[in-house]
Amino acid sequence: MPFSSPRTADLSPPRVGLFCTCLVDMIRPSIGFAAAKLLEDAGCDVDVPAQTCCGQPAFNSGDRVTARALAEQVIAAFENFDYVVAPSGSCAGMIKAHYPELFAGEPDWMARVDRFCAKVHELVSFLVDVRGVRRVEAAYDGTVTYHDSCSGLRELGVKDQPRALLASVEGLTLAEMADADTCCGFGGTFCVKYPDVSNAIVEKKAANIVASGADTLLAGDLGCLMNMAGKLQRQGRPVVARHVAEVLAGMGDAPALGEPAPEKTP
């Protein structure tokens, strides 16, 4: 087995619904495949039901009616699974921390929503904290630095888990950047509403990434990665960006975020 997972050795496989997220589906599907591989290697039976947005953009923009409608769709699609796992602290945090707000004061809904939210997890924290994964069989030749995305860190407590698994990746060196837990300036709709503020924040983040000496930037949220990778590429910095799941799943040899796919030979 690729994982050391003592807690799960004698248990039947849990059914996990993989919440892929909109950005992964549209921009970087390889993250979804990496997440599925990690979950299967950890002894899970993985399914990807028909799904839609978690509702976070609407929620953060004050459109609670749309956010509520989307939440109902997500609950209906995933509530029969043992666990719901997302390769995004942002989306998992939206569901786990904010869905109860959308149904507050509704007795017919609250118990159902609470049961649902209790089984929602961010990917890497699920592997470590729920499935007991301690190491992965993966290799990556490079020095990486890790960005702690705001929602995963502050809403879900995701910090030590990715670093623990990265420590088991053969050939990988982790170089911590200054202020790794400081916002990158993305913030979903924040970067659209306040582009000047967002740019000033990501300028500082990019400087810290470069100063770490790492050749690869890792994070657990694609939105944050897109924001930071875009700034680094516009600056001409030789730092590539990957989702942490891709490296942990042994898929770190694929083109990095924003890099062209290799041309197919005839």
Query: How many Å is the maximal CA-CA distance in the chain?
Result: 62
Task: State the amino acid at position 97 in one-letter form.
Answer: A
**Quick one: which H or E segment has residue 68?**
helix 64-78
The stretches in the chain having pLDDT less than 50 are: 1-9
SS3 15: strand
Return d(Cα 248, Cα 143) in angstroms, integer. Answer: 14
* 183 Ramachandran zone, left/alpha/beta (phi>0; psi -120 to 50): beta
Contact 149, 183 (CB under 8 A): no
Strands 139-147 and 170-174, sheet pairing: parallel
pLDDT at 262: 76
- pTM attached to this predicted model: 0.92
Helices and strands, counts by H and E, the chain:
14, 8
Q: Please give the pLDDT value at position 178.
A: 98
- Say if CB 133 and CB 165 are below 8 A apart: yes
SS3 state at 64: helix
At 118-159, the pLDDT tens digits run 999 999 999 999 999 999 999 999 999 999 999 999 999 999
Q: In this structure, are residues 52 and 86 in contact, taking their beta carbons and an 8 Å threshold?
A: no
